[in-house]
Structure 1
Amino acid sequence: MRMTGYTKKLAILPFDHRSSYISGLFGWKEPLNVEQALTVAESKRVIYEGFQKACVPKEEAGILVDEQYGVGILRDAVQQGAITAVPVEKSGQDEFDFVYGDDFAHHIEAMRPTFAKALVRYNPEGNRALNQRQTQRLKRLSDYLHQSPSLFLFELLVPAEFHQLEHVDQNKDAYDTQLRPRLMVQAIEELRQAGVEPDVWKIEGLDQRTDCEKIVEVAHRNGGQHVGLIVLGRGASQERVIHWLQTAASVPGFIGFAVGRTSFWKAVVDFEAKRLSREAAAAQIAQNFEEWNKSFDAGRQAGMEAHGGQGR
Structure 2
Amino acid sequence: MSTLQPAPVPHLYLLAFDERHSFENALLGLSGPPTPDEAEAIRHMKTLIYTGFRLALRRGVKHDGTGILVDGQYGNNVARQALEEGILLAMAAEKNGQEELDLGEGACVGPHIETFDPAFTQARVRYNPEDEQEINARRTERLALLTEWLQAHGRRFLLELRVPATQAQLEALGGDEDRYDHELRPSLVVRAMSELQAGGVEPDIWMLESLDRTEDCLRVALQAREGGREHVSCIILDHHADWEGLERCLRVAAPIPGFIGFALGRTLWWEPLQALHQRQLTAAEAAQRICDNYQRALLLWNEALLRSDCQRSAMQQEVAPS
Taking every aligned residue pair, what percent have the same amino acid on both sides? Answer: 37
Which of 163, 169, 175 is the equivalent residue of 2:180?
175
Q: Which runs of 5+ in 2 are unaligned?
A: 316-322
Paired with 2:91 and 2:34, the residues of 1 have a C-alpha distance of 21
Equivalences for 1:32-51 in 2 at 5 Å? 32-51=34-53
Aligned equivalents of 1:13 and 1:246: distance in 2? 18
User: Among 292, 303, 307, which residue is 1:302 paired with?
Assistant: 307
How far 1:97 sits from its partner (Å)? 2.4
What is the aligned partner in structure 2 of residue 200 from structure 1? 205
Mapped pair 1:21 → 2:49: no
Which aligned pairs between 1:101-140 and structure 2 lie closer than 5 A? Answer: 101-103=105-107, 104=109, 106-140=111-145
**For structure 1, which runs of at least 5 residues remain unmatched after alignment?**
none
Say whether 1:245 aligns with 2:257.
no
Larger relative contact order (Cα-Cα within 8 Å, sequence gap ≥ 6): 1
Deviation, 1:4, is 4.3
User: Which residue pairs with 2:295 in the alignment?
Assistant: 290
Compute the displacement of 1:56 (Å). Answer: 2.2
Q: Distance in 2 between matches of 1:68 and 1:179?
A: 35
Cα displacement (A) at 1:287: 0.4
The TM-score normalised by the length of structure 1 is: 0.94
Deviations for 1:9-52, whole angstroms, at most 9, x for unmatched residues? 11100011102221100111342211111111011111010010
Find the counterpart in structure 1 of residue 171 from structure 2. 166
- Report the residue type matching 1:51 in the other structure: F
Question: Which has the higher mean CA deviation after the structures are superposed, 132-141 or 52-61?
Answer: 52-61
Task: Please give the alpha-carbon distance, in whole angstroms, between the structure 1 residues aligned to 2:297 and 2:209.
Answer: 15
Once the two structures are superposed, residues 227-249 of structure 1 have per-residue CA deviations (whole angstroms, 9 ceiling, x without a partner) of: 11100003421111111111000
Residue 5 of structure 2 corresponds to residue 3 of structure 1: yes
Q: Post-superposition shift, 1:111?
A: 1.8
When residues 68 and 281 of structure 1 are mapped into structure 2, their CA distance, relative to the original with a 3 A threshold, is same
- Structure 1 distance, partners of 2:95, 2:183, is 30
Q: Does the Cα contact within 8 Å between 1:15 and 1:260 map onto a contact in 2?
A: yes
Aligned residue-pair number: 309
CA contact (8 A) 1:6 1:200 kept: no
Deviations along 1:197-245, one digit per CA (max 9) or x if unpaired, are 1010000111100000000001111121111110000342111111111
Q: CA RMSD in A?
A: 1.8
Q: 1:5 to 1:132 in 2, by over 3 A?
A: farther
